Amino acid sequence: MKKLLKPVIFFISIFYLPVSFSCSEEFLIKEPPGVAAGSLMTSPEGVESILIGAYSYLRGRYLFGGALGTDWMYGSIPSDDCYYGAWSTYPPLERYEANPSHPYVLQRWQECYNGVQRANNTLEFLALNQEGNNPISRGRALQIEGEAKFLRAWFHFQANKVFENIPYIKTKAELYPLPPEKVPNTDPAWNAIEEDLQFAIDNLPETPPSGEPGRVTRYAAMAVKAHAHMFQKEFPEAKQLLDAIINCGQYDLAPEFWHNYDMTHENNKESIFEIQAATTSTAYSSVAPAGAAFYQKGPASCGGWGMFQPSQCLFEAFQVTPDGLPVLDIENRDPLANDMGLASSDSFIPTDHLLDPRVDWTISRRGIDFLGWGINPGSDWIREMYYGGPYMTKKYMHLKSEQSLNNYGTGFYNGKNYRMYRLANILLWRAEIAVEEGELELARSLVNRVRERAKNSTPVMGLCTSYSNLGKDPAVDWTKPAANYKIEPWPEGHPAFASKEEARKAVRMEIRLEFATEGHRFFDLRRWEIDDEVLNDYIVRDSRFRIFLSGVKYNPEKHDYWPLPSSATEEQKGIIQQDPAYVTAP
């Protein structure tokens, strides 16, 4: 993890033993890694190194089933935002065909609880340190406990998003006399998540400890706790936290939309909780999906796999009216031209429809520059258009100008951070609450802060003056925007903010446009309780575009959460209970 206590990384590599990926109950009770190191691991340096090990797990280890930080596999692919992008031997999650034996749900379970274990190891070694002859100062000890409990809450939250009921695993001392392996999954663990986050809020500083930007702060804990309240529709509790972040004076929107996705503006003034990543000539800590979302072919491939592809539905959501405002109702949107099924040699001219400029910072499409790597020629860069469609994501790829920052091979594992929470999240959640409380003018002003930033951001440049020969020597006017962009704030008195029903649509649309492909969409649809309505409508519409979705039906009584891995329920019978929606009748 870059920027985090570089002097003590030595202790991690030598003494911090790897975490096992077993799913048995042993992972709840096995001795903490590094026990053999004895007093070294209970020293101040040892405790700090174990904490870094817990931080390092924020990105997880499994690219597909884990998806800890980005949630691309669970938050984007099952939604109307993106496709998996390739045929798989596993039942695909985007068809809602997961079962308890699916390897991906096992990986998610393992990732979350291995992260929990690392956080608990930190707390256990910290307790030993405080009882020893060389204790960490009381002030720093409380910070370490706050950081570890934040991480423990976050890892459980990541489990909570995917599995309806989870066990909340604390240290042995905290759980005594109940052994960790006997903790049942009787509820979503919201109270325990909030308790740990509140401890972090009470004991973490307002700025990163030791000045290291990768560490969590009081405001990061507030953001995660507010998000937990939003999931539970506890708006008064979330409101208090969101207002505190907005009014603290520490955060502001970055001047450019793309500054939240490039490598040269990491840990900027908008970022509240950012998962760190880095590459070197010998190692990497890239954030998933990284190379899986890179092009498989063409100069921008970097060894990528060409997966995680945006949907036609998402592309059409970026269209705007002549006034530069989004079209809130899907039935009123125009169909936009796409090159599905066309070879790069076939004639195709991109749509000239007015579009929100964020579209071409989010979706890579034919005839538009791809982050400095060249004009996208269409199918010549696409892995499997039949399964994934003609688009690719952009937010996980680095600019060509940043290639020198990636020292690992071709750049498959880039060093781009992932902004887990930023001020735009906070503003738009606060707008959601304003709508529910009838403060529609406040909601409009908060949404407009985000839209004004998008309006004032530099659009993707490079207008093709000819659409032939795109893969070799395209004719491009680099002084002009790449497409017909327009975006304006919502004007005072607009009908979109005249009623709660319409204002909800406007706020939710802004959330979709601002955070598209970032792993939030499915969870947002579920917490808004419109998952059934939106996803089944999407399937009907999009199955005409992509045959792969033909015959799919989203059942909110079953598909709103994923099943627990069968190994967990079998090895802890009577303790870990399967989601009733996935229990097979005898």
| pLDDT range class, residue 409, cuts 50, 70, 90 | low
What is the domain count for the chain? 2
Residue 371 near residue 400 (C-beta atoms within 8 A): yes
Angle in degrees, 0-180, between the axes of helices 423-436 and 500-515, rounded to the nearest 10? 170
Give the end of a domain, one of 458, 485, 519: 519
For 181-205, write each residue's pLDDT tens digit: 999 999 999 999 999 999 999 999 9
For β-strands 271-275 and 82-83, DSSP reports them as unpaired
Task: Show which of 472, 502, 519 is a domain's final residue.
Answer: 519
> Which of 272-281, 408-417, 483-492 has the largest mean confidence?
483-492
Give the span between the Cα atoms of 315 and 561, in whole angstroms.
26
Range from 227-231, 286-290, 537-541 carrying the lowest mean pLDDT: 286-290
pLDDT digits (tens, 9 = 90+) for 96-119: 989 999 999 999 999 999 999 999
- Cβ neighbours for 175, distance < 8 A, ≥ 6 positions apart: 169, 183
Reduce the DSSP state of residue 76 to 3 states and report it. helix
Across 220-234, 305-319, 376-390, least confident range: 376-390
Task: Using the predicted structure, report yes or no on whether residue 274 has a pLDDT greater than 60.
Answer: yes
| Per-residue confidence (pLDDT) for residue 123, from 0 to 100 | 98
Q: Identify the pLDDT of residue 91.
A: 66
- Residue 586 scores a pLDDT above 80: no
Question: Which of 83-87, 202-206, 373-377, 415-419 has the least mean pLDDT?
Answer: 83-87
Lowest-pLDDT choice from 292-306, 345-359, 526-540? 292-306
pLDDT of residue 7: 30
Which of 191, 223, 250 finishes a domain? 250
Percent of the chain at pLDDT above 90?
Answer: 75
pTM: 0.93
Query: Is residue 433 situated within a structural domain?
Result: yes
Shared domain check, 298 and 153: no
Check whether 2 has a pLDDT greater than 50: no
Residue 15 lies in a domain: yes
Query: Has residue 318 got a pLDDT over 70?
Result: yes
Which pLDDT score, from 0 to 100, does residue 502 have?
A: 98
133 inside domain: yes
Task: Tell me the residue length of the chain.
Answer: 586
Show the 3-state SS of 392-407.
EECCCCCCHHHHHHCC
Q: Per-residue pLDDT for 534 more than 60?
A: yes
Low-confidence winner among 121-135, 355-369, 404-418 (lowest mean pLDDT): 404-418
State whether 10 and 154 are in the same domain.
yes
Is the domain of 220 the same as that of 356? no
Cis before 289 (ω within 30): yes
CA distance 394 to 312: 15
pLDDT of residue 37: 56
Give the pLDDT score at 303.
Answer: 81
Q: What is the pLDDT of residues 222-263, one digit of tens each?
A: 999 999 999 999 999 999 999 999 999 999 999 999 999 999
Mean pLDDT, range 372-397, rounded to an integer: 92
Looking at the structure, do residues 43 and 108 belong to the same domain, yes or no?
yes
Residues 382 and 436 in one domain: yes
In a domain, 531, yes or no: no
CA distances from 350 to 21, 353, 366, 377, 484 (A): 47, 9, 7, 11, 10
Distance CA 325, CA 505 (A): 13
d(C-alpha 326, C-alpha 99), whole Å: 38
State whether 321 and 448 are in the same domain: yes
Identify the band that residue 573 occupies on the pLDDT scale cut at 50, 70 and 90.
very high
Asked whether residue 529 is assigned to any structural domain, the reply reads: no
Task: Compute the average pLDDT of residues 513-520.
Answer: 97
Q: Is the confidence at residue 15, as pLDDT, over 60?
A: no
Residues 243 and 305 in one domain: no
Start-end of H helices in 303-411: 312-317, 359-362, 385-388
pLDDT exceeding 70 applies to what percent of the chain?
91
Place of tokens 């809130």: 328
Q: Which residues have C-beta within 8 Å of that of residue 291, sequence separation ≥ 6?
A: 302, 303, 304, 305, 412, 413, 414
Q: What is the CA 114 to chain-centroid distance, rounded?
A: 19
Helix (H, G, I), strand (E, B) or coil at 462: strand
| Average pLDDT of the segment spanning 125-129 | 97
Query: Across residues 468-491, what is the average pLDDT?
Result: 94
Select the more confidently predicted residue: 48 or 404. Answer: 48
* Helix, strand, coil in percent for the chain, rounding step 5: 45, 5, 50
215 shares its domain with 340: no
Residue 29 corresponds to which amino acid? I
Q: Are 20 and 153 in a shared domain?
A: yes
Pair (428, 505) in one structural domain: yes
Answer yes or no: is 255 within a domain.
no
Give the range of the structural domain holding residue 191, as residue numbers without chain letter: 6-72+102-250
DSSP notation for 568-585: HHHHTTTTSPPPGGGPPP
Provide the mean pLDDT of the chain. 90
pLDDT of residue 386: 85
Residue 217 lies inside a defined structural domain of this protein: yes
Query: What is the CATH number for 236?
Result: 1.25.40.390
416 with 476, same domain: the answer is yes
Distance from chain centroid for Cα 124: 29
Provide the pLDDT confidence category of residue 330 given band limits of 50, 70 and 90.
Answer: very high
Give yes or no: residues 166 and 20 share one domain.
yes
Inside any domain, residue 423? yes
